[in-house]
Amino acid sequence: MEAHATAKDNKRTVARRHLIYYLRVFDHKTGQLVGNLVDISTKGIMVVSDSAIPANTRYHLRMVLPDTVEGSKEVDFEAESRWCRNDANRDFYDTGFELLDPSMDFLDAVDRLVEDCLFKE
């Protein structure tokens, strides 16, 4: 069944991909778990976490990659939190991050994740 698009949805220029399983995202500086990646594109990510993440904050993040992705087991990237709201499960929070000048390594990892780990549309 196809979902109805809203005006806001029509503004999206990059297709989002929903992960089959969660990938863990950490704060590179502190090593603390930020949350689990649930949505990804070449422009941004969405993370689900146990606590609210402040909006408009810049982060240096590290994503741990699954075994199915060749090469490095993790990739570092810069992102800025743009919004945070309660998840469908009110015990969790969804946060949207905009990627800031992603490296080719990160973009290659996104491509591999789309090929190896994600639901196809």
Query: Which domains are present in the chain?
Result: 15-116 (2.40.10.220)
Query: Chain centroid to CA 61: how far?
Result: 10
Distance CA 94, CA 22 (A): 13
One-letter amino acid identity for 74? Answer: E
Beta-carbon contacts of residue 33 (< 8 Å; ≥ 6 apart): 24, 25, 26, 49
Interval 69-83 mean pLDDT: 84
The pLDDT tens digits for 6-42 are 444 444 444 544 454 568 999 999 999 999 988 888 8
Contact 77, 40 (CB under 8 A): no
Q: Is 60 exposed, middle or buried (0-12, 13-18, 19+ CB in 10 A)?
A: middle
Distance CA 34, CA 27 (A): 6
Residue 106 — very low, low, confident or very high, per pLDDT cuts 50/70/90? confident
